[in-house]
Amino acid sequence: MLPSPFEFDRPSTIEDAIRGVGESGDGMFYSGGTELLLAMKMRVIHTDRLIDIKGIFGLNRICLNEANDIEIGARCTHAKIASDPVIREHVPALSSLCANVANIRVRSVGTIGGNLCFGEPHADPPTLLAALNARLVLIGRDGTRVVPADDFIRSELETIREPDELLTLIVFPCPNGPVTYRRFKHGERPSVNVAMAWSIDAGKATIKGARVRVGALGSRPQPLKVVEDALRGLPVREVRSAIEAVLTTALDELEVNEDRHGGADYKRHLAGVLLLRNVEEAISVGGGA
Amino acid sequence: MSATDNMSAVRPDLIEKVTGRAAYVTDLAIPGMLHGFVVRSPAIHARIVSIDTSAARSVDGVVDVLTGDDVASFGCWGVVLKDRPIIAIDRVRYVGEPVAVVIAETIEIAENAAELVNVEYDELPRATTIQEAIMDNAPLIHERHENLEDFYFKGGARPTQNSNVFHTYRNSVGDVDAAEAAAAYIHEDRFTFPAISHFAMEPHAVIADFRGDSLTVWAGAQTPTAVQKVLSRLYQLPLAKVRVIVPFVGGGFGGKASVKIEPLVAAASWKVQRPIRIAQSMIESMLTCRRLGADITIRTAVDAKGRILAKSAKLLLDGGAYSDTGSAVATKAANRIMGPYVVPNLRLEASAVYTNTIPGAAFRSIGGPQAVWAKESHMDNVASAIGMDPAEFRLLNFASRGERIRPDLRALDMDMGELMGRVTQSFAAKAQSSNRRASGLAVAATDPANTPISNAIVRLKIDGSILVSVSSIEIGQGAHATMARIAAQTLKQPPSAVTVLRTDTAVAPYDWGTGASRSTVVVGLSVENAALDAADQILEMVADVWELPRESLSLVEGGISTGSEVLTFHQIFHRALGVDSGEVIGRGAITPRSKKGALAESPLFWETSAGLAEIVVDEDTGEIHVPRYASAADVGRVINRVAAEGQDEGAAVMGFGHALHEALEFEDGQPINATPIDYSIPRISDVPPVFDTILVENGDGPGPGGAKGMGEGAILPVAPAIANALFSTYGIRITDLPMTPEKVWRALQKRS
Ligand SMILES: Cc1cc2nc3c(=O)[nH]c(=O)nc-3n(C[C@H](O)[C@H](O)[C@H](O)COP(=O)(O)OP(=O)(O)OC[C@H]3O[C@@H](n4cnc5c(N)ncnc54)[C@H](O)[C@@H]3O)c2cc1C
């Protein structure tokens, strides 16, 4: 199947890109095209104009900045993130996530920005980025705004991004504790995934704070507040028992869609399994105890 | 030898494929060719109230729009039951059924204009599952059943009038009731099996060129002569005026067997009298045909020692909206649920029913996976119920070589115990590793419908090169390389001397078709005969011209040895014909009367397989891993080892798909995962890291050099072997496929 006819534009600046999309009706940004073109071919997305953002310089940089934040350009492909030395060193969980997303063709052209902006609930990066407390930089006609990853996806296939806002950058504090991520999938997309990021005190014995996100169950990643509360200020050696004590309550609070990925009870159970496996990994790699 | 020579020696088509030079239907351009895009039914079962094509027709570049009104007068077609219109006429019976074809200068124009075709439907009551279709007051999907006896297969369908049952096959031996009355133990199980997509890499694509009273079709058809016959009947053209050309084909697995979209594309070309191509997308091909789902009840009675006294099975197959070859699938499912055991009393009943879903079709080992899933899972259940080891239970009940498992079928030509032993040894040979590793076994013996009807032409040229012409198609399985080897071996020439022509019915002689594991045996024999005929002619020429006794002459590479010297083919033709040119044309035919009737009995050989799977289950998630698998088959003789092993592995991997991943799902008749994204097949990473293929060769098959057919059997044991491993080690019995993690997890929850 083929897409309906469309115009094609490749601007070289962010300003031109934004203007290009905003000009009339239904122009869309085109990055790797791995979601967009499929949807256009299946004729579920109709657009009369694609604004290719590949020609914009500087959107695919990765660095650790002076504020000790990691910056990832929205045009970075999964493959690039997977092999990037900064990411490998500081957030190996993100590097391996990107190394295992989709298939090799999608990884080599599909971008992290495209993944986030598509708002697909059965996705990997949004869950981990939310656990990492990432901020997303959006540039539109009226200027720049920075939104927390937690707030970015509004519902299934819908984000808070305006059609003419370009996602340029993803920024998050360089982790100071173990970051773990696991997904379960049987088929093309993850059925459930769980990301957990701890910040650890200098002695590596106590958890100062933890962010835990469960993805793919509802329309967007959900925090496991009960678990986060239980972990805050906790000695690492007490983690297992503390989590076991609150796990059922925590999982019950999750919103879970019944879909082709399985019944709600099963997926809720899987979230618990993945969380406990993340905990074991966090204890062994970073928790010290 | 260079790497490319090496590849060519295995399969001459490989270099063309990996370099992208191989031309498939979508690579061909016929001068003046138009493009068709099919408008499909979104309705499950509905009357067509109206079709408005005016907006589509007014689009620049649209040439015409084909609808049911254009072709109603041609009537219906079919290969067993005549139940199928060329395109929906007044009614649609499944989601995806073609209702119009927009014909345009480019495919883009056709597809865009297709959105403008406005069809109004009036919904009809529907029957979307086997259970709904067999209810007393079920809506009839076809009002009448018209059987075409001996049209494609020997025999035909046995439909029940005024019902959705389009075929019922029964066979019984002995007295099951009496045997059950005397039995020490009786066990009954019920299993179900889903619809499964063929998922060939190349979707259906056909070019048709109707010109006056002749029709040429380019199609990836597995059975070009069946396509030719159906088109000839439908459009009232002499067979000699219908030409079917088969270029490279990107897989079929039965999904391109019998006849599929060829009549539709021909109708579009007929309407505008220009060549037209319809090239379907993957999604459209998923809506075109699929394996038949099944609901199977099976019961076995045993005596106190564990010997089988009686077996009965009732199989219901979901044939979808049009019968295609579903009747044969049902019959074969009944035959394939028996063996390879001695069962003195037997009662089989298999029915195929219409439902308002995608039409069912032949698929690698027709009816086999459904039947073997049920029977081999059931065997372990019976063994467990009587406290016997499942392997011992099988060994005790195997029919031996030379024994018949049913009086009307050929005696077994292999030793099932040996095959089972070979897979077990394969595991034993490798160090057994630790905890919680489970293994399960399954075996199968199936009766391929090999149809011993085939012709071949082998032409020996003056320079010693050889042309082979057959209707077998090269669909990726390596059939043409095998034919080349058979011709080369028979004529004592190197395989590189042989070229096998791509199939074109204008040149290739009649053959039944490519399927049912038959080509190596049946077509192979006709190639062997044709080569012998060519040899005979050239030897006769030498004997005649050189005035030598025939007995002193023999073929050698490049020519003929007289005992004292070697005459090159050049020398022979030159002196015999007076000019430096010429060829001999050998003709070979196989019929049920060949070899003194030895090929007539069914099956021609038994296709066998044994599979042993080792599994590890993640009990927290329900996920099954298969670290090791062994597959054994008795193939008589291996002609091309790389190709034969590839066929065995490929079939088994398809079996992993059936076992763990695949089901084409419908919700009230609506397909819900008929896209390559939502439908998942195994990937290379799902293939067991240790995979052992064991090919048993006793040179005792009916084919060239004692070969038997192969390529389908290995799909059969996979699912039951895995299920049996789950049963013996994890204590759960899964009765419907696929064995998804969720299903396994739920069963584990219930157990504990
Ligand atoms: C077969 C397959 C399997 C997949 N499996 C997985 C999986 O397991 N897990 C997973 O997480 N993902 C999976 N994906 C999704 C994959 O990660 C995305 O397709 C990819 O990252 C999208 O990036 P892209 O650059 O191609 O986006 P595009 O297709 O170019 O764009 C997607 C959408 O985002 C918009 N957009 C893109 N970039 C920007 C930007 N910078 N600013 C504003 N809007 C923008 C576009 O307008 C469009 O609406 C899979 C995809 C495929 C095709």
DSSP B313: E
Burial letters B120-143, b for 16+ CB under 10 A, else e:
ebeebebbbbbebbbeeebeebbe
Cβ contact, residue pair B680, A4, below 8 Å = no
Report how far residue B420's alpha carbon sits from residue B145's, in angstroms, rounded to the nearest whole number. 44
Count CB atoms within 10 A of the CB of residue B632.
29
Query: Residue B629 pLDDT more than 50?
Result: yes
Q: How many residues does chain A have?
A: 289
- Rounded to the nearest angstrom, the distance between the alpha carbon of B248 and the centre of ligand 1 is 34
Specify whether the CB–CB gap between B525 and B707 falls below 8 A: no
**A139: domain CATH number?**
3.30.465.10
Rg (CA), chain B: 27
User: How does DSSP assign B418-467, residue by residue?
Assistant: HHHHHHHHHHHHSPP--SS-EEEEEEEEE-------EEEEEEEETTS-EE
Residue B167 belongs to some domain of the structure:
no
- Asked if B76 and B222 sit in the same domain, the reply is yes
Q: Which residues from chain A sit within 8 angstroms of residue B116, using beta carbons? A: none
- Asked if A101 and A69 sit in the same domain, the reply is yes
Among A173, A195, A230, where does a domain finish? A173
3-state secondary structure chain A: CCCCCCEEECCCCHHHHHHHHHCCCCEEEECCCCCHHHHHHCCCCCCCEEEECCCCCCCCCEEECCCCEEEEECCCEHHHHHHCHHHHHHCHHHHHHHHHCCCHHHHHHCEHHHHHHHCCCCCCHHHHHHHCCCEEEEEECCEEEEEEHHHHEEECCEECCCCCCEEEEEEEECCCCCEEEEEEECCCCEEEEEEEEEEECCCCCEEEEEEEEEECCCCCCEECHHHHHHHCCCEHHHHHHHHHHHHHHHHHCCCCCCECCECHHHHHHHHHHHHHHHHHHHHHHHHCC
Binned at pLDDT 50, 70 and 90, residue B428 comes out as confident
Among A173, A194, A224, where does a domain finish? A173
Mean pLDDT for chain B overall? 96
Among B597, B618, B647, where does a domain finish? B597
Specify whether the CB–CB gap between B346 and B311 falls below 8 A: yes
Among B597, B621, B656, where does a domain finish? B597
Cβ contact, residue pair A273, B620, below 8 Å = yes
Q: Residue A3: what are its φ and ψ, rounded to 5°? A: -70, 160
Residue B183 belongs to some domain of the structure:
no
Report how far residue B233's alpha carbon sits from residue B222's, in angstroms, rounded to the nearest whole number. 19
pLDDT digits (tens, 9 = 90+) for B13-71: 888 999 999 999 999 999 999 999 999 999 999 999 999 999 999 999 999 999 999 99
Specify whether the CB–CB gap between B73 and B233 falls below 8 A: no
pLDDT digits (tens, 9 = 90+) for A211-268: 999 999 999 999 999 999 999 999 999 999 999 999 999 999 999 999 989 999 999 9
pLDDT digits (tens, 9 = 90+) for B654-711: 999 999 999 999 999 999 999 998 999 999 989 999 999 999 999 999 999 999 999 9
pLDDT at A289: 41
Specify whether the CB–CB gap between B640 and B700 falls below 8 A: no
- Asked if B406 and B474 sit in the same domain, the reply is no
Nearest Cα neighbor of B452 from B254, B635, B258, B593 is: B593
pLDDT digits (tens, 9 = 90+) for B281-303: 999 999 999 999 999 999 999 99
**Residue showing tokens 């089901």:** B663
**Is the C-beta atom of A180 inside 6 A of ligand 1?**
no
Specify whether the CB–CB gap between A79 and A98 falls below 8 A: yes
**Cis preceding-peptide flag for B738 (omega within 30 of 0):** yes
pLDDT exceeding 70 applies to what percent of chain B?
99
- Name the 3-class secondary structure at B348: strand
Report how far residue B210's alpha carbon sits from residue B242's, in angstroms, rounded to the nearest whole number. 9
Nearest Cα neighbor of A260 from B123, B223, B675 is: B675
Query: Residue A208 pLDDT more than 50?
Result: yes
Residue B499 belongs to some domain of the structure:
yes
pLDDT digits (tens, 9 = 90+) for B322-363: 999 999 999 999 999 998 999 999 999 999 999 999 999 999
Q: What angle do CA B657, B659, B660 make, to 5 degrees?
A: 70
What residues of chain A, 32 to 71, have a C-beta less than 8 Å from chain B?
A: 38, 42-43
Q: What range defines the domain where residue A161 resides?
A: 62-173
Residue A1 belongs to some domain of the structure:
no
Residue B155 belongs to some domain of the structure:
no
pLDDT digits (tens, 9 = 90+) for B738-747: 999 999 999 9
**Is the C-beta atom of A189 inside 6 A of ligand 1?**
yes
- Asked if A113 and A147 sit in the same domain, the reply is yes
The answer to whether A143 faces chain B, any CB pair under 8 Å, is no
Q: What angle do CA B176, B181, B183 make, to 5 degrees?
A: 90
Report how far residue A175's alpha carbon sits from residue A180's, in angstroms, rounded to the nearest whole number. 11
Burial of B307 (0-12, 13-18, 19+ CB in 10 A): middle
Report how far residue B538's alpha carbon sits from residue B69's, in angstroms, rounded to the nearest whole number. 58
Q: Which residue of A has its CA nearest to B683?
A: A187
Residue B373 belongs to some domain of the structure:
yes
Q: How many residues does chain B have?
A: 752
Query: Residue B320 pLDDT more than 80?
Result: yes
- Asked if B608 and B721 sit in the same domain, the reply is yes
User: Across residues B639-644, what is the average pLDDT?
Assistant: 92
Query: Residue A287 pLDDT more than 90?
Result: no
pLDDT at A129: 98
**Is the C-beta atom of A47 inside 6 A of ligand 1?**
no
pLDDT digits (tens, 9 = 90+) for B451-499: 999 999 999 999 999 999 999 999 999 999 999 999 999 999 999 999 9
- Asked if A119 and A35 sit in the same domain, the reply is no
What residues of chain A, 253 to 272, have a C-beta less than 8 Å from chain B?
A: 260, 262-263, 266, 269-270
Look at chain A and report how many structural domains it folds into. Answer: 3
Cβ contact, residue pair B281, A1, below 8 Å = yes
Residue A201 belongs to some domain of the structure:
yes
Among A173, A200, A234, where does a domain finish? A173
- Asked if B571 and B616 sit in the same domain, the reply is no
Q: What range defines the domain where residue B575 resides?
A: 454-597
Residue B724 belongs to some domain of the structure:
yes
Residue B157 belongs to some domain of the structure:
no
pLDDT at A31: 98
Specify whether the CB–CB gap between A196 and A131 falls below 8 A: yes
Binned at pLDDT 50, 70 and 90, residue A25 comes out as low
Report how far residue B89's alpha carbon sits from residue B573's, in angstroms, rounded to the nearest whole number. 60
Residue B587 belongs to some domain of the structure:
yes
Q: Which residues from chain B sit within 8 angstroms of residue A5, using beta carbons? A: 108, 112
Of B115, B741, B746, the CB nearest to A186: B741
Look at chain B and report how many structural domains it folds into. Answer: 3
- Asked if B614 and B714 sit in the same domain, the reply is yes
- β-pairing, B690-696 vs B276-279, is unpaired
- Asked if A67 and A148 sit in the same domain, the reply is yes
